[in-house]
Amino acid sequence: MVGLKVLDRKLLRNLRGMAGQGLAIALVIAGGISLFLLMAGMTGSLSETRRTYYERYAFADIWAPVVRAPESLRADIRAIDGVRALETRVRDAALLDMPGMIEPATAEVISLPDHRAPRVNDVHLSEGRLPDPGHRSEVVVLDAFARAHSLAPGDEISATLRGRRVELEVVGVALSPEHVYAIAPGQLVPDDRLFAVLWMSRDALAHATDQDGAFNEAVIRLMPGASEDAVIDTLDRLLAPYGAPGAYGRDLQFSDVFLSSELNQLVTMSRILPPIFLFVAAFLVNVVISRIIAVEREQIGLLKAFGYSDLDVLTHYLKLVGVIGLVGLLLGSGLGIALGRWMAAQYAQYFHFPFLIFRADPTTFLLGALITLIAVLGGAAMAARSAFRLRPAVAMVPAPPADYSRAIGASISKLRLIDPQSRMVLRQLFRFPWRGGLTLLGVAASIMLLVSTLFFLDSMQVMIDTHFYQANRYDVAVSLVEPRERRAFHELARVPGALTAEPYRHVPVRLRHGPREETIALIGVPRDAMLSRTLNAENEPVEAPPGGLVLSADLAADLDVELGEQVEVETTQGRRMVRQLPVSAIITSYIGSVAQMELRALNRLLEEGAVVSGAYLVVDPAQNLALFEELKAAPGVAGVALHSLAAENFKAILDQSLGWSIFVYVLFSGMIALGVIYNSVRITFAERARELASLRVLGFKRGEVAYVLLGEIALLTLLALPVGCLGGIGLAFYLSEAMASDVYRLPFVIHISTFAAAIGVVVVIAIGSGLIVRRQIDRLNLVEVLKTRE
Amino acid sequence: MSSSPQSCFETRGLTKVYGEGDAAVHALRGVDLQIPEGELVVLLGPSGSGKSTLLNILGGLDSASGGSFRFRGEELSEANTSRLTHYRRNHVGFVFQFYNLMPSLTAEENVDLVTEIAPDPMPSLEALDLVGLAERSHHFPAQLSGGEQQRVAIARAIAKRPDVLLCDEPTGALDSATGIRVLRALLDANERTGSTTVIITHNAGVADMADRVLFFRDGDLHEERRNAQRVPPESLTW
Ligand SMILES: Nc1ncnc2c1ncn2[C@@H]1O[C@H](COP(=O)(O)OP(=O)(O)O)[C@@H](O)[C@H]1O
Ligand SMILES: [Mg+2]
């Protein structure tokens, strides 16, 4: 230690003496910093990646689907004020029969302009080349799908497009900004095997779908500052005669909605979690430094008497916490980066970018360091003030015994019922209410985080159960290329393995109520439908008078409409008509929005006779092979949504990545409890070693002595349990509100087992900390402690 | 010659070694002594001579490295922790130089701590009365002077009617007037409860109030003296 100043040597010894506590604090700091880096870094990486990707590949601002519009309309669209770039294209659905997979894969087929790159929604070729307009069978395949099926340029794919079997040849593999989050219809989480995007030359696709000289979707990029709403309005008017269900912006573009909701979640969590950790760290630093200063009171007086300045003394203690802060910062940075990389890899499984690297930029690091500094120094400065103020003459005299006479708890001495040990516990609490209160809050914060984290699992479980097993109880939804008469349904009901079947009708509509307008598919289902049920929040079936509209609560809220009120329904395809319908029921839906009505009433409304768009099927899984063989070959079938598989995929994601994230959060929340409780018992032990030794000398047994010490933290922990659970309920409610999106809503449900688990974690930590200190009580050297003056 | 009373403490070849090898400190080097029941004994000797070490062993706070130590004929040198806790709880009262009161308990409650676990205690207020502090029973340690705190500590030690009362420099931190009050309290306790009392002190004058004076030097009993007559604390030359 040559070269070190004496004070620095003392600092090192101090640190060695409090290694356990210092580490516990450093861990809490590390928890806060790593979460901050993880979330801030991930938010930054994700939004920056998205921004450059969208920019470089000219991601659209507006999508305007139609049934069929003449190419000559281009000029009119191009002329709309605010349109920067326009691309017209053909977009259709196909079913793919992939070797080695029983289920049909669903494909979205999109045209690419001939002989040039798209001006809007360009693709990023990762392999091969673009289709040659001269060869109508050439396609480029979505990267994730190609990887899932080991497809490479030169491979062949059989597809059913518009009911016609076509053989396609893969010439390239690509990613696109429209398909960052790419999922098959009916799925919620990506299953790369099930969903493909195929890009074909405009000429080839138009030919295959009878769109020669026409388009069925316009995609538009806006000028900076242009009004999206205004452009959409103009577009809708312009395209109305061509069967336009309504143009929409990025807020309804599926992939972007998912990406945005993920970013929103990250931002929400990053506002809540790191600050809690850093507040707790500040508190712990304060408590520990206060304690050290109390112990070193006379040393401080001595140093000052020797001529060390107040500032020297202050800096000495700040250096001490500086070291703890630095350890926390370093640990947290390492952990944050490791977690960030892991999380980026998780994201890369679900969000497909040509590039996604987790990168916390220097500003994020600086900000993290700054926050640590503020938390740690803030906590220390409050404590060090007293050392700063201490006059040498005062410091040299031992501190008088703490005065308990004026504490509120003194009156408890009148209560003869309470034994002296319990009285010591209570008075200790009342004497230092701030410290006790903050300890309580620290433990409660840990429980709160545990409850609100585990709430996600409860909530998602209810979401899955309601959506997949209570409301929509089919395994497969089969959609027809065009609405067909009821006979088509009876054919579907007879496919191999079909146990139960229910028809449905699907009509794109615009719903209006006052100034509000929503675009949605109105679904007609039979009365007393068993496979697609309408439920209230208690999962009970909702009886709706026929002829009215059944809306999900989120949709009703968006339209600002209440039960019994009239809504204007405008159909946008086929025969266009406008009707007023009453809202006959409002139901609960956690995933997507629902607009339903009775099938026959809908058909009457549309004046099209008894037609269906498809069927929901419950199938015998043993016969899947035959079933899907038949569906893949059936000419009238446009799509097959694999509902039960979606449920399985969703559950798998809960178990895997979400399960892991939650494990990490639980670990971090536990770190708070550990930091607070362990430090608290250690400090109480240090402060009261003398009292405890006296009790031992008086003949108290070790257990009785431990009670005096641990009773306090036990009581605080006990009080913190309900506070933490209430806080957890509040935070969970806030999160369920803050994270709701058009895609899904988190039901506000917390199981008893969640509270039990949260309480269990904290109680185990409390008992563990208690046992460590209990061992120290057992080893307490009575003679040593008592022969010294405090 | 009166018949010799039954001995309360008896040690044979009692040794205590701290540390080992070169660093070993021989705090006690084979102490043989006998302390009769009910006597007031003063232990004198230079600093580091092993007085506290002996007292701690007699009080069951520490165990010896070798030799034998009997309390009323019962061998305690090999006793385990819970046996020693039991011994302290039922037989021993301690007074230290630093009073070691519970700051969160009033004077009376500090005494209650003991009366609640002792088999045959006196009422807490009676013990406080013995040390002249009955009026201050509701005061917290922070509200008492050093001498008063020490007297509360004595009240706490005697309230259980201990068989032995062990005091390690009880007046060490006090001025002479206060010290005399404290010694008076110890003497009264010895006379009223009949506890065998051992007092360590630096102050040779205090020896005159004892029945027996033990002089310690270099970890052993150097000299033993019997006083024909006990001088009351108030008449001691300080
Ligand atoms: N815990 C200990 N570790 C090492 N040495 C000790 C310890 N306690 C006492 N000693 C040594 O034992 C000797 C006797 O100490 P002590 O009994 O306290 O003396 P006295 O009370 O007469 O002043 C001294 O040399 C002291 O330094
Ligand atoms: Mg001593």
Q: What is the pLDDT of residue A538?
A: 84
What is the complex's ipTM, to 2 decimals?
A: 0.80
**Nearest by CB to A423, which of B61, B109, B141?**
B109
Q: What are the beta bridge partners of residue A201? A: A112
Does residue A656 carry a pLDDT above 80?
no
Residues A417-426, mean pLDDT to the nearest whole number: 81
Measured CA to CA, the distance from residue A48 to residue A44 in angstroms comes to 6
Most confident range, picked from A634-643, A748-757, B76-85: A748-757
The continuous run of DSSP H or E covering A273 comes out as: helix A254-295
Measured CA to CA, the distance from residue A370 to residue A32 in angstroms comes to 12
Least confident of A391-395, A584-588, A741-745: A391-395
Measured CA to CA, the distance from residue A296 to residue A390 in angstroms comes to 11
Structure tokens at A438: 């903050």
Give me the total of CB pairs closer than 8 Å, taking one residue from chain A and one from chain B: 105
To test ligand 1's pocket by mutation, which of B43, B44, B52 has the most ligand atoms within 8 angstroms of CB? Answer: B52
DSSP secondary structure code for residue A593 in this structure: -
**DSSP reduced 3-state for B195:** coil
Q: What is the pLDDT of residue A652?
A: 84
Q: Within a 10 A sphere around the Cβ of A434, how many other Cβ atoms?
A: 9
| Contact across the interface for B117 and A699, Cβ inside 8 Å | yes
Distance (Å) from the alpha carbon of B127 to chain A's nearest alpha carbon:
15
Q: What is the pLDDT of residue A3?
A: 47
Backbone φ and ψ for A351, nearest 5 degrees, come out as -110, 120
Measured CA to CA, the distance from residue B61 to residue B81 in angstroms comes to 9
The amino acid that residue B170 corresponds to is: P
The dihedral of CA B167, B172, B176, B182: what is its sign? negative
Model confidence over A719-777: pLDDT tens digits?
999 999 999 999 999 999 988 877 788 899 999 999 999 999 999 999 998 888 888 88
Residues A252-270, mean pLDDT to the nearest whole number: 88
Q: What is the pLDDT of residue A605?
A: 86
Residues A105-117, mean pLDDT to the nearest whole number: 93
Planar angle of CA A558, A593, A184, nearest 5 degrees: 140
Contact indicator for A145, A191 with CB cutoff of 8 Å: no
Q: What are the beta bridge partners of residue A172? A: A128, A140
> Among A741, A712, A666, which Cα is nearest to A265's?
A741
Question: From ligand 1's centre to the CA of B50, what distance in Å?
Answer: 6
Residue nearest to atom 20 of ligand 1 (CA): B48
> Among A253, A65, A90, A70, which Cα is nearest to A162's?
A90
Does residue B225 carry a pLDDT above 60?
yes
Strands (E), A231-316: 248-249
Strands B92-95 and A595-598, sheet pairing:
unpaired
Structure tokens at B25: 């400190």
| Torsion-angle region of A246 (φ positive above 0: left; ψ -120 to 50: alpha; else: beta) | left
Residue of chain B whose alpha carbon sits nearest to that of A780: B61
Strands A164-175 and A138-142, sheet pairing:
parallel
| Contact across the interface for A413 and B117, Cβ inside 8 Å | no
> Among A246, A193, A180, which Cα is nearest to A217's?
A246
> Among A314, A433, A332, which Cα is nearest to A380's?
A314
pLDDT band at A411 (very low <50, low <70, confident <90, very high): low
Question: From ligand 1's centre to the CA of A199, what distance in Å?
Answer: 91
Q: Where are the alpha helices (DSSP H) in B59-200?
A: 81-91, 107-115, 124-130, 146-158, 176-193
Structure tokens at B138: 């509701």
Does residue A586 carry a pLDDT above 50?
yes
Question: From ligand 2's centre to the CA of A421, what distance in Å?
Answer: 30
Q: Where are the alpha helices (DSSP H) in A390-516?
A: 392-396, 420-431, 433-464, 486-493
Measured CA to CA, the distance from residue A655 to residue B119 in angstroms comes to 61
pLDDT band at B203 (very low <50, low <70, confident <90, very high): confident
| Contact across the interface for A701 and B113, Cβ inside 8 Å | no
CB neighbour list of residue A598: distance below 8 Å, 6 or more residues apart: A524, A525, A526, A527, A544, A546, A547
Measured CA to CA, the distance from residue A4 to residue A13 in angstroms comes to 12
CB neighbour list of residue B49: distance below 8 Å, 6 or more residues apart: B216, B217, B218, B219
The continuous run of DSSP H or E covering A220 comes out as: strand A214-222
The continuous run of DSSP H or E covering A611 comes out as: strand A611-619
| First-to-last C-alpha distance (Å) of chain B | 32
Closest atom, ligand 1, to C-alpha of B45: 22
Residues A345-371, mean pLDDT to the nearest whole number: 84
Measured CA to CA, the distance from residue A215 to residue A442 in angstroms comes to 62
CA–CA distances in Å: residue A317 to residues A129, A286, A544: 66, 11, 71
Backbone φ and ψ for A692, nearest 5 degrees, come out as -65, -40
**Nearest by CB to B104, which of A404, A694, A783?**
A404
| Contact across the interface for B62 and A402, Cβ inside 8 Å | no
Residues A161-176, mean pLDDT to the nearest whole number: 92
Does residue A596 carry a pLDDT above 50?
yes
Q: What is the pLDDT of residue B3?
A: 38
**DSSP reduced 3-state for A413:** helix
The amino acid that residue B71 corresponds to is: F
pTM of the model: 0.81
Structure tokens at B185: 């309290």
Contact indicator for A213, A476 with CB cutoff of 8 Å: no
Give one DSSP letter per residue of A647-684, joined into a string: HHHHHHHIIIIIHHHHHHHHHHHHHHHHHHHHHHHHHH
Residue of chain B whose alpha carbon sits nearest to that of A415: B109
The continuous run of DSSP H or E covering A207 comes out as: helix A202-208
pLDDT band at A404 (very low <50, low <70, confident <90, very high): confident
Measured CA to CA, the distance from residue A416 to residue A399 in angstroms comes to 30
The continuous run of DSSP H or E covering A604 comes out as: helix A599-606
Measured CA to CA, the distance from residue A209 to residue A136 in angstroms comes to 12
Backbone φ and ψ for B211, nearest 5 degrees, come out as -75, -35
Measured CA to CA, the distance from residue A244 to residue A72 in angstroms comes to 16
**DSSP reduced 3-state for A135:** coil
Residue nearest to atom 18 of ligand 1 (CA): B52
- Using only C-alpha atoms, what is the Rg of chain B? 17
Residues B9-22, mean pLDDT to the nearest whole number: 92
**DSSP reduced 3-state for A640:** strand
- Dmax over CA atoms of chain A, in Å, equals 103
Average pLDDT, chain B: 89
Length of chain A: 790
Q: What is the pLDDT of residue A595?
A: 94
**Nearest by CB to B104, which of A424, A783, A790?**
A424
Q: What is the pLDDT of residue A410?
A: 57
Contact indicator for A235, A62 with CB cutoff of 8 Å: yes
Q: What is the pLDDT of residue A2?
A: 42
Does residue A787 carry a pLDDT above 70?
no
Strands A566-571 and A214-222, sheet pairing:
unpaired
| Contact across the interface for B103 and A404, Cβ inside 8 Å | yes
**DSSP reduced 3-state for A404:** coil
Question: From ligand 2's centre to the CA of B112, what distance in Å?
Answer: 28
Model confidence over A513-568: pLDDT tens digits?
999 988 899 999 998 888 988 888 888 888 878 789 999 999 999 999 999 999 99
**DSSP reduced 3-state for A96:** strand
Does residue A781 carry a pLDDT above 90?
no
Least confident of A300-304, A330-334, B209-213: A300-304
Structure tokens at A674: 């550990």
B positions 63-102 inside 8 Å of A (CB):
81-82, 85-86, 88-90, 92, 94, 96-98, 100-102
Contact indicator for A516, A558 with CB cutoff of 8 Å: yes
Residue nearest to atom 26 of ligand 1 (CA): B48
Q: Within a 10 A sphere around the Cβ of A76, how many other Cβ atoms?
A: 12
For tokens 């027996």, name the residue: B212
B contacts of A709 (beta carbons < 8 Å): none
Contact indicator for B141, A401 with CB cutoff of 8 Å: yes
Closest atom, ligand 1, to C-alpha of B19: 4
The dihedral of CA B160, B161, B166, B170: what is its sign? positive
Contact indicator for A60, A231 with CB cutoff of 8 Å: no
The continuous run of DSSP H or E covering A197 comes out as: strand A195-201
Structure tokens at A716: 């605080």
Q: Which ligand is nearest to the CA of B172?
A: 2
Ligand 1 binding residues, C-beta < 6 A:
B 18-19, 25, 27, 45, 47-53
Average pLDDT, chain A: 87
**DSSP reduced 3-state for B98:** coil
Does residue B2 carry a pLDDT above 70?
no
CA dihedral of B172, B176, B181, B187, whole degrees rounded to 10: 60
Model confidence over A608-632: pLDDT tens digits?
888 999 999 999 999 988 999 888 8
Residue nearest to atom 17 of ligand 1 (CA): B50
- Using only C-alpha atoms, what is the Rg of chain A? 34
Give one DSSP letter per residue of A151-179, joined into a string: --TT-EEEEEETTEEEEEEEEEEEE-GGG
Residue nearest to atom 12 of ligand 1 (CA): B27
Residues A371-385, mean pLDDT to the nearest whole number: 82
